[in-house]
């Protein structure tokens, strides 16, 4: 587990057809739409105190046309850049060209999922080219087994073993999502996330199921690198000002 990194809270901005949405357990049939102004949503979280934004191109993740999302991503970057806010982007980055384009447009850290898992050599190339602070991997697991392609395909690969393999390749940052909890507001699977961080030695960002400030405090107390917060912010269960103040507080 990497305890040297400062704790970061990432508000999630999930994009589908240019709109800000949340999915329950990654299911596109269980979608809630929160607005058609991604730049405005980004500004809202930045005003609340966010230092990073976690943006997901869901259309790209599902292998669908994502032209509307590309415009949405640019609108978010246009709001974030003048404020010095970093954007972490995942979803659909499945070729060197995709990665190059994302980082060139101003994304600070690109999150690889399907590509890294199905072609580990491409992850090694990306880490060698961009360095370990510009590249992260997203491991999305159900019952400990990794899923890809927008969570639609079960790889049969063990999440802990894969994280250890990626660490050996030079990876530093890992986003871990327990699919069974994501978008449900039922609480994080902190035990599995912490076990993964300890076993791999990676800086792990927890994702999936945050519903209260206490959840976030528990992630920080567990010495994880950060946490992604989605539905609880959009539905008013967590006050942004109180949330982002936790980054600099002691738990």
Q: Cite the active site residues.
A: 14, 140
- CA torsion 37-43-104-90 (nearest 10°) is -70
Q: Which residue has the tokens 């384009």?
A: 101
Question: Which DSSP state fits 230?
Answer: -
The span from the CA of 228 to the CA of 206, in Å, is 6
Tokens standing for 217?
A: 């405090």
Q: Report how far apart the first and last C-alpha atoms of the chain are (Å, whole number).
A: 18
Strands 203-207 and 19-24: unpaired
The span from the CA of 112 to the CA of 218, in Å, is 26
Closest C-alpha to 107, from 183, 42, 163, 59: 42
φ, ψ at 235 (rounded to 5°): -105, 10
Max Cα distance, the chain (Å): 44
């Amino acid at each position: 587990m990497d305890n040297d990194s400062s704790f970061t809270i990432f508000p999630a901005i999930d994009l589908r057809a240019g709109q800000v949405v949340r999915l329950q357990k990654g299911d596109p049939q269980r979608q809630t739409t929160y607005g058609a102004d991604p730049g405005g949503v980004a500004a809202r979280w930045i005003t609340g105190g966010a230092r990073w934004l976690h943006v997901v191109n869901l259309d790209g993740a599902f292998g669908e046309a994502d032209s509307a999302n590309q415009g949405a991503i640019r609108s978010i970057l246009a709001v974030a850049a003048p404020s010095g806010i970093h954007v972490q982007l995942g979803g659909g980055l499945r070729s060197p060209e995709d990665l190059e384009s994302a980082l060139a447009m101003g994304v600070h850290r690109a999150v690889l999922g399907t590509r890294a898992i199905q072609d580990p050599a491409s992850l090694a190339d990306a880490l060698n080219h961009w360095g370990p602070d510009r590249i992260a991997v997203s491991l999305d697991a159900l019952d400990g087994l990794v899923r890809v392609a927008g969570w639609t395909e079960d790889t049969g690969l063990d999440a802990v073993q894969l994280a250890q393999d990626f660490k050996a390749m030079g990876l530093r940052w890992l986003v871990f999502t327990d699919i069974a909890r994501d978008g449900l507001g039922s609480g994080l699977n902190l035990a599995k996330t912490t076990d993964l961080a300890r076993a791999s030695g990676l800086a792990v960002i927890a994702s999936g199921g945050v519903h209260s400030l206490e959840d976030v405090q528990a992630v920080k107390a567990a010495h994880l690198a950060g946490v992604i917060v989605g539905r609880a912010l959009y539905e008013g269960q967590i006050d942004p000002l109180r949330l982002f103040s936790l980054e600099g507080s002691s738990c």
